[in-house]
Structure 1
Amino acid sequence: MTNQIEIGRGKRGRRAYSFDDVSVVPARRTRDPRDVNLSWRIDAYTFDMPVIGAPMDSVMSPATAIALGRLGGLGVLNLEGLWTRHEDPEPLLEEIAALDAQPGSPEITRRLQEIYAAPIRAELITERLAQIREAGVVVAGSLTPQHTQQFYKTVLAAGVDLFVIRGTTVSAEHVAETQEPLDLKRFIYELDVPVIVGGAAGYTPALHLMRTGAAGVLVGFGGGASSTTRRTMGIRVPMATAVADTAEARRDYMDESGGRYVHVIADGGVGTSGEIVKALAMGADAVVLGGALARATEAPGRGWHWGLEAAHPELPRGHRTRVGQVGPLEEVLWGPGHHTDGTSNLMGALKRAMATSGYTELKDFQKVEVLVTPAGAS
């Protein structure tokens, strides 16, 4: 069944939905929130909550990756960020937070480009990942496809447990006339660690990424609140539809592969507890949190949030945005909450939503009934 509508005489398109357009339906049978199990597993690694810290400098430092790991989540360090370009990035983080210009201004963008122009240093990749490993938590690092070939051996030698290849859009069949493209299928096959790759925002590209052997597929373009990809490039797929399409690709790939399960991970547009609930209801196994964790007092961004795309040397498509500070990371994730807008006790809210809908396991919650409720409807 399709949902094609006529845009004009020469073009038709599918109707797509954002998280704001859908809602979860309470069930006849409810559960006690204390009975809800939020754990999930990818490859050999089990986590107490379906939360991955976004590999963004405003969200994850080695210290916050360690803290998130100890709280039951997975912190992913951006291996092309300030922590692998500068020996001591703290003064630069303070400077970025203190910039006076308005968000999206040329002054901020120019300064970010200058800061991120420093070269990535392999020895700093090794040092930062070793710091996380010494803390005894799962070690994960992220590279864009453009830098994966150059630095992946350094990453593997440092002892990474999970390797993330993350970009605005990542395809299994990238074509380039001027350079040898990254062959994802061959690359993933030759690695000894599980790979999470994305973003993808549709059934077909997600299915192709699953066929590369990836352990997980990132759905969305990342960036979330700090991204301007929609305005800059005209590219956007509303997240409820994107996650549901990718979940269907996972279902079909399981049949095609004889039962191999690839995890669907919502990456972008997941800033509050309600959006986490809806992402999982649409079929995601876990969510990548950026702005939601940037609100923690320990976050490197100091109440500000930005992504690597904001400092792109040729086509910046993001900005530094103010998200404020809610409280310590533990309070943001596990409570107790002191805010009524879905920005604190994110896991407590998820537990209560699942219990109200009659579910105690994340996999089962993917079957929950949902309604289309256009934004603004009461």
Structure 2
Amino acid sequence: MSNEIEIGRGKRARRVYTFDEIGIVPTRRTRDPELVSTSWTIDAFQFGIPVMGAPMDSVMSPATAIQLGQLGGLGVLNLEGLWTRHENPEPLLEEIARVDDEVAAVKRMRELYSAPIKPELIRDRLAEIRDAGVTVAGALSPHRTAEFTDTVVKAGVDLFVIRGNTVSAEHVSVEGREPLNLKQFIYELDVPVIVGGAATYQSALHLMRTGAAGVLVGFGGGASSTTRATLGIRAPMASAIADVAGARTDYLDESGGRYVHVIADGGLGTSGDLVKAIACGADAVMLGAALARATDAPGRGWHWGQEAHHEDLPRGRRVAVEQIAPLSEIMNGPAHIADGSANLLGALRRAMATSGYSDVKEFQRVDIVHAER
């Protein structure tokens, strides 16, 4: 059955779905939430919860990366952010939070992020996380990866994240600019690599063939992104995750049993979105705005990504987020409001228990329905 629709005589479009348009359906026996496992393993690393903290300065500092690691998740530090450009970014984060005018905020962020990245700060920030005894992960954009890889690896990173709005295994560059050869890069690296974003079956399959341990799914769909407005690009997450999960299954057969993890990245504002992402096929989720709401998040009630201070074409903005609870309560409760913003893991466990599934891998098989909004 085709899911294409005609939007005019000369153009057809594929029907895709957002999280708001789908729901899970309990069809099996129920169980107690205490009998549900939310653990997740990628390469040699096991985590108690399938949650990664997005590498955004408003979300992850060395301290919050450590805290999320101690809660069972994985904090990913932005290695191109304020923490690797400035010795003491705390006053600068406070300054960004105090600026009232949005134009002035963009101007000031551009100034702060124009400072050079210092290799010694990459080393020191990652060492701080490692010394706390949690798994160490850092992220670079594709165009910075080659420049700082040696520094990151020597600093003892456990998981290397290459994250952009979209990452391609077949990037075409202008003459004289050598694109990152992902397949060669991953082959030569001694640590597992998570790469993305991807939003289609084909792009994800290409990334899986590079040897990546995990693929991030999403394209500018987060709360701070304006990619849809500035570039006209949109990838509704429910369909994108299901497409990439399909690529994972086909690649598993193609490669003779190599499993690549699918990580939903973007558009995950509530616990219900987290639940639906895993139901659509994600092995884990990468959270930004959901964690920026923590009272101990470095953004101090504001959330922004790298695109917000792009020198030529900003595709994001600094957005105000309500600070609702400490990070520990956002992850594990207790929740004091019933809007899906706190006790994210409690909600996941209850959804799994209500539909009768005992672990995350099983829960990917839950029935899903589509309902018109």
TM bucket, shorter chain: over 0.9
Q: Secondary structure at the match of 2:223?
A: helix
| Matching residue of 1:148 | 145
The amino acid that maps onto 1:268 is G
1:134 aligns with 2:136: no
Aligned pairs for 1:1-378 within 5 A: 1-101=1-101, 105-178=102-175, 179-222=177-220, 224-375=222-373
Q: Please, which runs of 5 or more residues in structure 1 have no aligned partner?
A: none
Q: Which amino acid aligns with 2:137?
A: A
Q: How many residues align?
A: 372
CA distance in 2, matches of 1:164, 1:2: 36
Pairwise CA distance, 1:107: 2.2
Task: State the 1:112 CA deviation.
Answer: 1.3
Partner Cα distance (2:28, 2:199) in 1: 33
Q: Residues 159 and 223 (structure 1 numbering): CA distance in 2 closer, same or farther, change over 3 Å?
A: farther
Q: Identity percentage over the alignment?
A: 70
What per-residue deviation string (whole Å, max 9, x for no partner) do you get for residues 298-341 of structure 1?
10001110001101111111111111111111100001111110
Read off the aligned partner of 1:137 and give its amino acid letter.
V
Of the structure 1 ranges 20-29 and 87-96, higher mean CA displacement relative to structure 2 is found in 20-29
Q: C-alpha separation between the residues in 2 aligned to 1:223 and 1:113?
A: 22
Q: Is the 8 A contact 1:27 1:356 kept in 2?
A: no
Letter in 2 for 1:29: R
1:57–1:300: 8 Å Cα contact kept in structure 2? yes
Tell me the SS of whatever aligns to 1:226. Answer: coil
Superposed CA RMSD in Å reads: 0.9
Q: Aligned partner of 1:35: which letter? A: L
Provide the C-alpha distance between the structure 1 equivalents of 2:282 and 2:313, rounded to a whole number of angstroms. Answer: 31
TM-score normalised to the size of structure 1? Answer: 0.97
Does the 8 A contact of 1:29 with 1:358 survive in 2? yes
Return the alpha-carbon distance in structure 1 between the equivalents of residues 116 and 311 of structure 2. Answer: 13
CA contact (8 A) 2:262 2:281 kept: yes
Deviation at 1:27, TM superposition (A): 2.1
Measure the CA separation in 1 of the matches of 2:87 and 2:307.
22
Find the aligned partners of 2:306 and 2:171 in 1 and give their Cα distance.
Answer: 21
The residue type paired with residue 208 of structure 2 is M
Determine helix, strand or coil for the equivalent of 1:349.
helix
